[in-house]
Structure 1
Amino acid sequence: MSDVLDCLVIGGGPAGLTAAVYLARYRRKLQVVDAGDSRVGWIPRTRNVPGYPDGIRGTDLLQRLREHAQRYEVPMAQGAVGSLAVRGDAFEAMVDGRPLLARKVLLATGARDVEPDLPGLRESLASGNVRYCPVCDGFETQGQRVAVLGKGLHGLRESLFVAGFDNQVTWLSMGSQEELPPEQLARLRARGVLITDQRPLHIRCEAGQGVELEMVDGRRLSFDVLYPALGLRHASALATGLGAGVQPDGQLLVDDHLQTTVPGLYAAGDVAAGLNQISVAYGQAAIAATAIHNGL
């Protein structure tokens, strides 16, 4: 069993790298496998991560986390885990066709935002005209013209949330407002949220110049910020392939120690049940890594 890892960490974002530091300091034999697509890298500047009062670029935060792990000589490999299986008392992960055995596995595979078909999306993300997380950066939108693109209760709730920052909010309901009870729509009106039920024909973004929407009736609507509220796809397939339980939204069910319903398989960060925040990922990683250490 000398070639079996104590723990395989899948994912090199805030959760995975924090867990790696903890496990390394516990003197555990581990390996981080990272596909290199953490959505933290798309953050132009985050201002609600403790310790960075002036904010920090997502790419810079990832680099600092990697440097921290490298201080403890954490082995980090670039690659994708194609499958995960139970082999006796261990897990077997196939990484680009190569098997890795580990007694415990921590999934820190995160989630991906459902992106609208929006030309110039990447450039507008970089400039801050298009954003995905009002919990993260709603504070920075105060007093602006903000549009929320999303259906049903999810779009309605995000519109209410953004309106709490004294914004002029328009909910682009994509024709879904008729599905909602009148009392829910009354909450929007009480907060001064406008509702447009038509679908945009075209969405144009100019970096640093705002967002322009062309509607079906020919109107052109301009905003400072657009929040797509189309949901997340949580990267939980490796766990569900082993029978792990999930919430309806795809987040993995975990116990107080961040263990999934599969013994020995843990999850931290956006893929685990909980609030999708960098600070939450840190805390979950610390709890999971400590539980893994104690269970070995």
Structure 2
Amino acid sequence: MADTLKRPPFDPELEATLALLGDQLPPSITPEMIPLLRQGASPFDLSVDDVLAEAGIARRDVTIPGHDGDEIQVSVLSRQGRTGIGPGVFHTHGGGMILGDRFVGLQHFLRWITEFDAVVVTVEYRLAPEFPDPFPVRDCYAGLVWTAEHADELGIDPDRLIIAGASAGGGLAAGTAMLARDEGGPALAGQVLIYPMLDDRDQTISTAQIDGVGVWDRTSNITGWSALLGDRRGTADVSVYAAPARATDLSGLPPAFIDCGSAEVFRDEDVAYATALWQAGVQAELHVWPGGFHGFDMMAPHTAIAQAMVAARDSWVARVLGD
């Protein structure tokens, strides 16, 4: 497009993966595509129960009160036969605020269960546009409160509870962490923001660069934010809990891990968020992976750069969840 800026090149291994996946990935997502995308199977879909069984992980589904007391569901995942108290992870899934379910991103946290003995609670928050802001973030916050209130029963040490999410889930994790700070909610030991979706304003260099290319481009991003916020998108009438990049006070938040690719829409807002956390005196670890497109760790896990990304993230989680 005319206003597209030259972007950093894709990593060669990732570029080859994009070429192979070209026919399976949707083009830029527009609003009318949302129902069809929800019906169709993704090439990255996994049989959840098979994956969990193979990893030796038990699953328990629980109906809990969400925003305004409406019923939502969470799944509690833990190592089969686990007893005692250990670390906990509250997970908010990705999908651009419009797609996905609580098992999207399963790959991110399986090792945290099997290797770190964490209990993961993953929440089925309600999706836009049918349930616009504040439903998604308030459902997530309700799930976090439920998790903390039931920590003993779940086998979670409340001093070792973190929140984690990718893409839209990363933005929801950041917003939920702010809600917990501002409303006297559960104390969090950390927040894992995996290429988080933080800024509705469509004003960064990276959003202009990733326009009609890669995965989750500028058009898709506008579609997701417009579904969440409607006519409020890009105006002054947007909550910091919905779009955490708008927050002017990040003090008192838990330590953060933030990663993204250099060739994705969210790069600049993620770097800016890490910088704002540092300016507020909050500890943050930031990784910008050269040549990475959005979600490359899930779509190209065989590549050297994806393996490095996962290793860095898991190392941070291990340090935070450790005794």
TM-score, normalization: structure 2?
0.28
Higher-strand-fraction structure: 1
TM-score, normalization: structure 1?
0.30
